[in-house]
Structure 1
């Protein structure tokens, strides 16, 4: 084995691995529904300030969430081949160091929220609480992906709060719809590790749904797209919006082809490419407002 392989990794390299910097799909899954909600809330382009706040804030909070998740799951991750070499699990980073990185990132995100309004600042504490609760939900909740769905959808009410200083019922419907999308793609993700999770006693939707896992994923995609289609229709968006929904639906059908045999490779590919489905919906919302 070469000396380069044995050489210890630098701290910056470990920190980037900790926050999944080389895997942007995670923060893109949070970003697209949050930005779509901004467009809905502002009835069009929300302005550069809020756009910057939500883009940077999403990246920072997803990165902070990875730090907390890796600390919480370190004893489980060492039994899963895909996660055994994560910095905290492998011992390359200490628990205190990982939490310190997460705290700094969360504080930077909070500094961005402070440039909005009081209502959004208050909602940010709720979002943080849900983010911190998710890693531990996997011990007690049969479908922890539902908790993740709330955490990954909380940019929606915060977007409305930032624009309108209130969160209308419309925003909560968008959140419910987006929760089903999270349930779909994170069940695909859980299907990858199902065998390992069964051995270590981890609770996941893939285990809970059992042989109905593929049907549950497709039903969740359908509910997500139906609710967001109804939302766009109520705002009288143009044909471009429905084109975006149609492209997203086509991708969902492709994902069915990827996951129907339940192979690790197919399920992971479907999960990894889900951000394109979310982008199609976001692009449809933006394009739907353009003629106005």
Structure 2
């Protein structure tokens, strides 16, 4: 097994800043790989910005809410990764990219990981408690999706669809934090995020397709194979169409639309550049979705001013 196949970054701030005893827990929560936090956080900010656009008294969303969602996304992404590593520990030990993660490497026991998971969930609950009752209910219900996600790769070639349901739940939470109700506009935004995640996580899954096939887990990368590019056209087209429909229903101003066009160009660039047999390129394209998320967030802010 090649050490350089590991997905743990070498020389990250975790290794240089944190005490040795805390480093495995930071890696368990993926603090050295923030892209997942961004992809969980940005739909929260989307929903918040979309709801704020219809608020006559506010030009921009509350900085306090923006901060709360940032902390919440960091903690809950860490909790999700911890749970994923607990349930996948036997698979991870057989895959070159994941064999050096803290649990299969023996740096953290399952019991220690469960305690760490509980601490993260309690912090997440404290963050959620800062919002209204309806938002608390919506936010708490996401735990059902989070807990089921690691098992999806065992039963379906579409675990990325379940991840799409899970990772974009924040769009609904962000909206309800302002509105205390749900309507068609945030539901369309949530659906847009679902197809966005289907696209970017399929790209990500192409890094592991050989190992996944060997250990017997499923993914859209294995299901779609060489047809991935054509499917991405569909996934990403629906992403843009649904965002546009959500923005239209929310009555966003004209400044939103040029930025949506830029975001669409970015997704087209991903499809054009994709080589499903180049793992390094797949990872770079996957990470570039943070930029897409920020473009949409900027557009929602501009359209609401």
Structure 2 distance, partners of 1:142, 1:188, is: 14
Structure 1 distance, partners of 2:276, 2:76, is: 34
TM-fit CA distance, 1:261: 5.0
2:150 matched to which residue of 1?
A: 135
Q: Does 1:242 align with 2:257?
A: yes
Q: Does 1:126 align with 2:135?
A: no
TM-fit CA distance, 1:189: 0.7
Q: Does 1:48 align with 2:58?
A: no
Pairing of 1:5-20 with structure 2 (within 5 A): 10-20=20-30
Q: Deviations over 1:207-255 (max 9, x none)?
A: 1122211211232111101110122233332343122212212221221
TM-score for the superposition, normalised by structure 1:
0.92
Q: Could you say which structure has the higher helix fraction?
A: 1
Whether contact under 8 Å (2:99, 2:105) holds in the other structure is yes
TM-fit CA distance, 1:67: 0.4
1:161 matched to which residue of 2?
A: 176
Range with greater deviation from structure 2 (254-263 or 67-76): 254-263
Q: Does 1:233 align with 2:248?
A: yes
| Aligned partner of 2:86 among 61, 71, 74 | 71
How many positions carry a matched residue from both structures? 283
Structure 1 distance, partners of 2:89, 2:231, is: 29
Whether contact under 8 Å (1:245, 1:280) holds in the other structure is yes
TM-fit CA distance, 1:61: 0.5
Instruction: State the superposition RMSD in angstroms.
Output: 1.7
Structure 2 distance, partners of 1:242, 1:249, is: 11
TM-fit CA distance, 1:58: 1.0
Structure 1 distance, partners of 2:25, 2:298, is: 32
Structure 2 distance, partners of 1:273, 1:89, is: 29
Query: Which protein, 1 or 2, shows the higher relative CO under an 8 Å CA cutoff with sep ≥ 6?
Result: 2
Q: Does 1:101 align with 2:95?
A: no
Structure 1 distance, partners of 2:80, 2:169, is: 13
1:3 matched to which residue of 2?
A: none
Structure 1 distance, partners of 2:23, 2:40, is: 24
Q: Does 1:180 align with 2:180?
A: no
2:222 matched to which residue of 1?
A: 207
Q: Does 1:32 align with 2:42?
A: yes
Q: Does 1:86 align with 2:101?
A: yes
TM-score for the superposition, normalised by structure 2:
0.88
Structure 1 distance, partners of 2:254, 2:187, is: 24
Whether contact under 8 Å (2:152, 2:159) holds in the other structure is yes
Whether contact under 8 Å (2:274, 2:282) holds in the other structure is yes
TM-fit CA distance, 1:182: 0.5
Question: Where does structure 1 lack aligned partners over 5 or more consecutive residues?
Answer: 1-8
Whether contact under 8 Å (2:186, 2:246) holds in the other structure is no
Question: Where does structure 2 lack aligned partners over 5 or more consecutive residues?
Answer: 1-18, 54-58
